[in-house]
Amino acid sequence: MCGIVGYTGKTPAINLIIDGLKRLEYRGYDSAGIAIPIQKSEKLFVEKRAGKLQILSNSLTNVPKSNAGIGHTRWATHGGPTDLNAHPHLDESGKLAVIHNGIIENYLEIRRQLESAGHKYLSETDTESVAHLLADAYKRNGSDLSAAMREVCQQLRGSFTLLAIHSDHPDLIVGARRNSPLVVGVGNGENFLASDVSAFISHTKKALELGQDQVVSITPEKISVTDLKGLAVKPKDFEISWDAKAAERGGFTHFMLKEIYEQPKAIADTLLISKSISESMNKAKQNSGLNLNIDLSEIKKIVFIACGTAYHAGLVGKYVIEAWTKISVDVELASEYRYREPAISKSTLIVPISQSGETMDTLMAMRYAQKNGAKILSICNTNGSTIPRESDAVIYTAAGPEIAVASTKAFVTQLIAIYLLGIHFAKLHNSLTQKEIDQILSELDALPAKVEQVLETVEPLREMTRKFKDAASMLFIGRGVGFPTVLEGALKLKELAYMHAEGFAGGELKHGPIALIENGTPVVALLPSEESVINEKMLSNIQEVKARGANVIIISDHEVKNFDLQIRIPTCSELLQPILAVIPLQVIAYEMAVARGNDVDQPRNLAKSVTVE
C-alpha cells in the first residue's frame, strides 16, 4: 500500500525515482507523483496524476535536472484517487513537499486548527496537514527540516512513513516512520529511502533498518538517524539477499505466473535454510531460516495470527501441528484478535504469519499478544520488515520477492515453515518417532519435484477454466487439510477474477450451502488419497453436488471416474497435500483473471502490503 522512494546522489533523480516506483507498483496504488528540488530555485518541480504510473511518466516533460527527489504511489484512504489528492502535498509557499504512507488519525483535529489559523487546503487528504505543520515547524526551528520533522511527528497519531524535501536544501531528504515501513539504501555517493528494498536493489545491497519513531536525514554523503528527541541512534545494517533479477518478470506474461512457476525453487530454498538453522537450534542467527532463540519447551498452546492467504496457511498449520504434537493450536484472523479478549498466557506461543512483515492487522495483534505476556515466533518472507524485527524469534521463508498482489509462492513456503515448526515441536515433545520424522523430512524434500510435475499437467485446466469464464459463481469443496486449501482457492478466484467464489468443508454442504448448486455450477473438489478415511466421505459429497447438476472438477492423486475434468496430482501424505493441491487452484484463478480481461498482477482495490488497519 503506497510506495515511497527518495533519492539523493550523483545522477539525475527522475529516472531513478520512476524506476523505484515501478518496482513498488506491486504494493497497489491508484495515483502517483514526484517532487524534485531545482538548484537555485525557490519552488519545487512537482507533478502528480491519478491512475497508473505510465500516466505520470507521460506527463513528465521538461523535468529540470536534479540529483535528488521523492516519488510516491498512493492507495487512496482519505479522499478519492484524484490528481489533487495524489502526493506530494505542498505547503502554501510551494517550497516544501511531503509524501506519506499510513493514516494520520488526528488529521481532522489538526486540519481544523490549521484552517482557523489561516492555512489553505487543496486536497481532502490527511497528509496535507503534515505539509502545513512541517512548514510552520520549519520556521520555528531555524530552517532545520529534521528538527521540524521531529517536532511534527510528536503531534501526529496513527501510522506513517513520511518523506519531506525543501527547496532551501536541494540535496537533503528527511524521513520518519511509525508503524509503517521505511528502509535506507546505502550507496556510494548516493543514498535512498524507500518503503521496501525492491525500490533500490538494482543500485545497492546495503541497507539500514529504521526503528519506531525515528527520523532520518540523507544527503549524497551522509545518513543520520535520531529519535524524536533528537538523540543520535545507530541503525541496524543488513545485506539484501534478493537480487534485482528476481524482481523482474523474466519472460512470463505476468508476475503471478512467474511466481507460480517459481514455487519448486521457493520450497527447496525454504527447506534448505530452515533445516540448516534447525541444526543450530537455540543459536541466535540473523537473516536465515529457523532462528529459535526462545525456549519452546514450556509452550502449551500455539496461536497463529494472520490475514488472507497467510491465515489459510495457519489453518493448515492447525491440522498439522495438532496431529503431530497434540499441542492445542488456534488460528485467529489478526484483524479480530485484539478487539476481543483472547486468553493469553506465558505458555502461549503466538505465531504471526506474514509475507510482507508489514501487515498492520497482524502487527497490531502481535503487539497486543506481546504486551499480554506471550512469546512471539513469526514466519515472514521479508527481511528487515517490522514483524520479524519485533518478534522474539523468526522463521524466514525463502520465497524471494513476491511482486504479484495475489500470494502464491509465499503461501507454499509458509506451509513449509509450519511443517518444520511442527517437526521441531514433535521432537521436543517426543510425539513422533525418529522414523516418522525422517519419513516426513524425506517427503518434504520430494515436494519441489512433485510441484514441478503438477505444473507440467495444468494445461487442460487452463482450457477448462476459460469455458467457465462467464459463470456467476464457483464453489470449492474439501475436507481435512483440503478445507483450508479450498478456502485459499476461493480467495484467489475472488481477488483475481472478481467472481463470487466460496470454499466449503465437504461435510458442511448439506447444512446449507448445497442450496447454491444449480445446473452447471462449477464445483472444484479436492480429494485426499484413496486410503484416507475422508476419501469416501468426499466422494459422497461430490455425488451430492453432481446429482444437483454441478460441473465437477476433481483434483486428486488417484483415478476417479465419471467427472467433468480430473487433475491428477502426485501422491504424498495427506497433511502435505495442500502444497500440491493449491497449485491447480492458483492456475484456475490466474487463467480466469486473464480470460475475464482483469489486471492479474494488480487486481482492483487491492494492495500487496496492507499497512492500514
Of the pair 327, 417, the CB lying nearest ligand F6R is at 417
Sheet with 393-396, strands from edge to edge, namely 290-291, 393-396, 375-380, 348-354, 301-306, 328-333
- Min separation Cβ 178 and ligand F6R, Å: 19
520/499 Cα distance (integer angstroms)? 16
493/588 Cα distance (integer angstroms)? 7
- Min separation Cβ 84 and ligand F6R, Å: 29
- Min separation Cβ 354 and ligand F6R, Å: 3
Of the pair 182, 554, the CB lying nearest ligand F6R is at 182
Of the pair 150, 312, the CB lying nearest ligand F6R is at 312
Q: Which of 583, 322, 559 is nearest to 461 (CA)?
A: 583
Q: Say if residues 430 and 597 touch (Cβ distance below 8 Å).
A: no
184/235 Cα distance (integer angstroms)? 10
- Whether residue 10 lies in the annotated active site: no
- Min separation Cβ 260 and ligand F6R, Å: 12
In the beta sheet, which residues pair with residue 353? 379
Q: Which of 67, 98, 73 is nearest to 21 (CA)?
A: 73
Of the pair 403, 525, the CB lying nearest ligand F6R is at 403
- Whether residue 307 lies in the annotated active site: no
Which residue of this chain has its Cβ atom nearest to ligand F6R in the complex? 308
- Min separation Cβ 407 and ligand F6R, Å: 3
- Min separation Cβ 321 and ligand F6R, Å: 19
| Neighbouring residues of 459: CB distance < 8 A, sequence distance ≥ 6 | none
Q: CB atoms < 10 A from the CB of 434, how many?
A: 9
Of the pair 406, 486, the CB lying nearest ligand F6R is at 406
Amino acid type, 3: G
Which residues make up the interface to ligand F6R (CB under 6 A)?
A: 307-310, 354-356, 359, 362, 406-407, 491, 495, 610
Q: Which of 261, 180, 335 is nearest to 587 (CA)?
A: 261
Of the pair 25, 151, the CB lying nearest ligand F6R is at 25
Of the pair 307, 458, the CB lying nearest ligand F6R is at 307
177 burial level (CB within 10 Å; 0-12, 13-18, 19+): buried
Phi and psi (nearest 5°) for 522? -75, 130
Amino acid type, 442: S
Q: Say if residues 273 and 288 touch (Cβ distance below 8 Å).
A: yes
Q: Which of 2, 307, 380, 572 is catalytic?
A: 2
In the beta sheet, which residues pair with residue 232? 226
Give the CA-trace dihedral at 39, 41, 43, 46, to 10 degrees: -40
Q: Say if residues 323 and 393 touch (Cβ distance below 8 Å).
A: no
- Min separation Cβ 382 and ligand F6R, Å: 8
Of the pair 34, 486, the CB lying nearest ligand F6R is at 486
Q: Are strands 522-526 and 473-478 parallel, antiparallel or unpaired?
A: parallel
- Min separation Cβ 521 and ligand F6R, Å: 24
Q: Which of 22, 409, 492, 608 is catalytic?
A: 608
Q: Say if residues 566 and 542 touch (Cβ distance below 8 Å).
A: no
Cα angle 186, 190, 194; round to 5: 55
- The residues carrying an active-site annotation are 2, 608
